């Protein structure tokens, strides 16, 4: 049995016990987070500088750029990012900014191109960022091509995901950053899934939105007809891997696993229990048997706003049009639940905090994932390499 399988078996054992005893995973005490942490512009800028512009962010699935020449252009917190796959299959990330006069090279979206031509003066770049040609070079003058390469961003592809750091020149080691979470992500095998598309939704402060992915305490009240009929409310199991989490949610059918050999429990994901996997600071992954929803939270442009990109993938391509429509309906269902039952409520929470009604947001002992997340946010904001990391 692999170490990952035993990890999951232990998690299932814990969830079974919680259901049978009507308990849940708990922290040692409650945690109070200042309400201003969701509102303060100065703190927001510090979060952008010390978290979002320093840490690896998962900006694309590998299957979004499956072939040489494919690209994805996107705005990430007002930073224009261009991700490409070159002729050798290597991924690159760069600023989507022409090195002549600063114009964007390509509009946001996905496509295939071996070269990018600036719409302003027709400078041409290869899809790895190298300057290929200067329009009317004889009139323009001599240009050192190496000095006019598109500004490169640190980029690595791992576990079927493409990670980017938004600050040029920073060292990047995604394998170390993911740590013990890497085996779990590799087991999902996203590099062989089928990309179904993206959907954008708008929400409140990025931490308000992210808080909703980190607990099931709200299932009964916020999801009475969607999530709660399948999944117990307020029964969770948390496993931490550095700043990342794997959160177990027992289904109402989990008791049947008592009749299954313990060694096989890890084979029953979505058949007795579900996991939500979160990658700090802004990614939530929910994998159902038929489809996965991967939520990428992008803060801003103000402290009270976030844009979330929901990406959908299926284990295999649809066999026919009927199956394609079924997948689209499932993606729409998951997206509607997230938007209408979580994000709309989050926007109301933002208004509530802005009213000054609360000095603190209180996280209970049962909201252990939220406590862990907020302690990691504070840890990175201290900017002290010698500070001990938070413990779950």
Full domain range(s) for residue 369: 3-54+193-382
Separation CA 252–CA 247 (nearest Å): 16
Question: How high is the pLDDT of residue 38?
Answer: 98
pLDDT single digits (tens) 367-377: 999 999 999 99
Q: Could you say which DSSP state residue 181 is in?
A: G
| Helix, strand, coil abundance in the chain, percent, nearest 5 | 35, 30, 35
Question: How high is the pLDDT of residue 279?
Answer: 98
Burial 174-194 (b: 16+ CB within 10 A, else e): beebbeebbbbbeebebeebe
Instruction: Tell me, rounded to whole angstroms, the distance of Cα 384 from its chain centroid.
Output: 25
Judge whether residue 357 has pLDDT over 90: yes
Instruction: Read off the pLDDT of each residue in 334-356 and give the average, rounded to a whole number.
Output: 98
Instruction: Examine the fold and report which residue of 171, 203, 236 is the final residue of a domain before the chain moves on.
Output: 171
In terms of domains, do 226 and 359 share one?
A: yes
What are the angstrom distances between the C-alpha of 255 and each of 24, 139, 270, 332? Answer: 16, 77, 13, 30
Residue 151: inside a domain: yes
pLDDT single digits (tens) 242-292: 999 999 999 999 999 999 999 999 999 999 999 999 999 999 999 998 999
Question: How high is the pLDDT of residue 385?
Answer: 85
In terms of domains, do 333 and 320 share one?
A: yes
Residue-averaged pLDDT of the chain: 97
**What φ, ψ does residue 212 adopt, rounded to 5°?**
-70, -25
User: Which band of pLDDT confidence, cut at 50, 70 and 90, is reported for residue 25?
Assistant: very high
Residue 181: inside a domain: no
pLDDT single digits (tens) 156-167: 999 999 999 999
Question: How high is the pLDDT of residue 69?
Answer: 97
Question: How high is the pLDDT of residue 1?
Answer: 83
Question: How high is the pLDDT of residue 96?
Answer: 98
In terms of domains, do 200 and 343 share one?
A: yes
CATH of the domain at 97: 2.102.10.10
Judge whether residue 241 has pLDDT over 90: yes
């Amino acid at each position: 049995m692999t170490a990952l399988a035993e990890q999951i078996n232990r998690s299932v054992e814990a969830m079974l016990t919680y259901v049978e005893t009507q308990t849940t995973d708990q922290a040692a005490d409650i945690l109070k987070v200042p309400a201003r942490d969701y509102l303060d512009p100065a703190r927001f800028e510090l979060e952008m500088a010390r978290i979002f512009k320093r840490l690896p962010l998962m900006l694309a699935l590998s299957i979004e750029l499956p072939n040489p020449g494919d690209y994805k252009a996107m705005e990430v917190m007002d930073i224009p990012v261009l991700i490409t796959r070159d002729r050798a299959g290597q991924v690159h990330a760069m600023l989507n900014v022409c090195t002549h006069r600063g114009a964007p090279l390509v509009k946001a979206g996905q496509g295939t191109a071996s070269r990018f031509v600036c719409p302003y003066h027709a400078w041409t770049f290869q899809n790895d960022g190298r300057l290929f040609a200067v329009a009317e070079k004889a009139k323009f003058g001599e240009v050192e091509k190496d000095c006019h390469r598109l500004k490169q961003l640190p980029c690595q592809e791992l576990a079927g995901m493409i990670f980017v750091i938004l600050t040029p020149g920073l060292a990047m080691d995604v394998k170390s950053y993911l740590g013990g979470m890497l085996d779990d992500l590799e087991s999902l095998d996203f590099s062989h899934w089928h990309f179904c598309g993206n959907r954008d939704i708008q929400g409140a402060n990025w931490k308000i939105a992210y808080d909703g992915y980190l607990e099931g305490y709200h299932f009964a009240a916020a999801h009475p007809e969607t999530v709660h009929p399948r999944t117990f409310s307020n029964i969770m199991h948390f496993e931490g891997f550095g700043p990342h989490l794997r959160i177990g949610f027992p289904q109402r059918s989990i008791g049947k696993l008592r009749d299954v050999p313990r060694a096989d429990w890890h084979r029953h994901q979505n058949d007795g229990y579900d996991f939500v996997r979160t990658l700090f600071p802004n990614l939530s992954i929910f994998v159902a048997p038929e489809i996965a929803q991967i939520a990428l939270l992008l803060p801003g442009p103000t402290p009270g706003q976030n844009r979330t990109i929901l990406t959908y993938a299926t284990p295999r391509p649809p066999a026919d049009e009927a199956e394609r429509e079924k997948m689209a309906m499932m993606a729409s269902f998951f997206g509607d639940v997230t938007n209408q039952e979580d994000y709309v409520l989050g926007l109301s929470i933002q208004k509530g905090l802005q009213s000054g009604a609360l000095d603190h947001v209180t996280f209970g002992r049962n909201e252990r994932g939220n406590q862990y997340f907020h302690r990691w946010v504070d840890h990175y904001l201290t900017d002290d390499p010698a500070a001990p990391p938070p413990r779950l």
